[in-house]
Amino acid sequence: MATPGVGAFALDLSGTTLNGNLENAIVKSDSVSMNMILNGNIPTSLGQVPVTANGIWTGNRNGTSLTGTIQNVSGIVNMCILFWCGTATFIGQGEWKGNLTVTEGTGVFEGTITFTSSDFSQIHTNQPAPISGTWNADFQVT
């Protein structure tokens, strides 16, 4: 049995899939809100690179149709090689949509992330990169 108020998402970034969680998933008669939490790894030739991020998904409910925006996304990539460690920070935004069946929602999202700083020459700053993915949640109905 699913736990009300939680869900998951799968984000595709340049062919790499990152999985995250949706928490505090609440649906009301006309609105929806969820907190996005990403704590994943990107595989590279040098091993797994940790990526963390969070953001807020808010939106509208119209019957069984859900639409909204993804806002206040901020994240960080950390990597250490031998005695050197570096970070890259990013922000993001997007839109999501889906359908609601009683308390369970599923859908898709798309948006962009933009690296605002980077210690890595491979990561270019101030250039939005497209993201897309799928999501599902077992909403808490209030």
Q: 88-131: per-residue pLDDT in tens?
A: 999 999 999 999 998 999 999 999 999 999 998 888 899 999 99
- The beta-strand segments (E) located in the chain are 6-13, 16-27, 31-44, 47-62, 65-81, 84-101, 104-118, 129-138, 140-141
Q: Is residue 2 very low, low, confident or very high in pLDDT (cuts 50, 70, 90)?
A: low
For residue 35, the model assigns a pLDDT of 97
The per-residue pLDDT for 42 is: 86
Q: What tens digit of pLDDT does each residue of 19-72 get?
A: 999 999 999 999 999 999 999 998 877 778 899 999 999 999 999 999 999 999
Cβ-count burial of 62 within 10 angstroms (0-12 exposed, 13-18 middle, 19+ buried)?
exposed
Residue 1 binned pLDDT confidence (cut-offs 50, 70, 90): very low
- Closest residue by Cα to residue 95 from 58, 41, 141, 40: 58
Q: Which amino acid is at 32?
A: V
CATH class of the structural domain 6-141 = mainly beta
Token pair 């790499």 is found at 16
